[in-house]
Structure 1
Amino acid sequence: MGLFGNDKIDGMFEKAKETLKDTTDKTKKAFAESSEQMKQHNAESKNMKAPVEGAIIRYGVTYNGGLAKYPKAQSGEIGLNVLEDCFYLKPTMTTVEWFEEMAIPYEKIKKLEIVERKISNAEWLLSSSRSDMKAMEQKNNIEISYIDSDNKNQLIRLEMLTGVSIYGQAGKCVEFMDVLRQNDIPDKFIKETTQNTTEAQVDVLGQIEKLSELKEKGILSDEEFNSKKKELLKKL
């Protein structure tokens, strides 16, 4: 005799038990599969956020525009890896669908600056005072001007993400510049000819011309002219 003393009810009860067991087994299996997928996702995400091999340090940044390939600012994290010979930008899970990893050789960089972030319209509307807006105008944006593989001028704008707050991000930008200087990386950038250098060169050439005139007039001997000319050329 069954539990309830009624074959029909007992049959329904056994069927319900089997259905419950089957549902429980399926739920456990689905949960196990979901947990495994989550572990794989987390492992992949962690791997994509890890510094690339040979990196001195890695910072998380977001893309703020500049490149013709990506004309608009985009959300999501990109890894800015500082290597011995280049910056290596690598996407994470949040940017892999649109951003392709790329290298910017130091020898191709014309200029690198840390500039103030631009306040968004939403931030402007939410700010209660000018002091609030000023507090958000921190230098946590990185602008890199460089020459690409096609010998074209390019500019990429990046905003520091590493650091909990805007102040923390600005602090990380200071650290970033310190790391570059400590590893003599700015010395590898393209050297720009400054206006002062150009003016100095023009002045030296002008002085040599005057010395040449004095030599032609017999005021300076060949030996004196060559000696002074040699001194001036050292300034170039």
Structure 2
Amino acid sequence: MGHPFDIGPEPMASCLGSSCFTVRIDGAWRAIPGTQPDHLDPATPARVHLRRQATEVLRCHSVLDLGAAQDAVNAALMPWGRPAPGLEATGTARLSVSPRDRELAEESARRLRALDLEHEAEMHRLRHLQDILSDPDLLRVWWMSRFPDRPEQLEQLTSALEHLAPPGQQPAGHRTELRQFADQLIDVLHNPAQQQLLLQAVIHAFRALGHTDLADTAARWLGPPEQENTP
């Protein structure tokens, strides 16, 4: 099976930097058949390798979820890895958490939950305010209820908020500019033949991009092909 060695117990950081796991690792190393490890003490690079793997995994887990952390770290350590030329190493970890580290983690979790709730409340307030400011009628009522002595400033505020989009609506940007460009293009092409030519180009582009549903929709707008006049 290999030459056994152990690591720890030693602390390793969790995803909450203030709290740590206490980690014990039962490891083993072996030489790859037909090779000779080039290290005088093969257990040293094997320990470094397993310690590095465990540290990377545990940084993604909380001490409050000990079972998941232990499963994850053992899934990383148990397959034979190659910490150095001619050398393989494996290991299994046993995790524990001190009462002090658990208290620190619980306190950190409470603070994070409080911050999340505060952030959620603030975002709700801002979305509500955006809903008011983006609607001229609501804006007028809101302003007069808050600042009844300053009606002369309402017109200036309304003008400044003219392009404010309601919550959840696509803000002005490239999509709006593209719509404006398309409207201008349609206005310019008064000639039916030119419109047909544009539609044919659009259909070709949609099919080239793989949007056959859009191409079929555009094709329904095409008129019947013009018949050549014969003497």
The TM-score normalised by the length of structure 2 is 0.24
The TM-score normalised by the length of structure 1 is 0.24
Structure with greater strand percent: 1
Structure with greater helix percent: 2
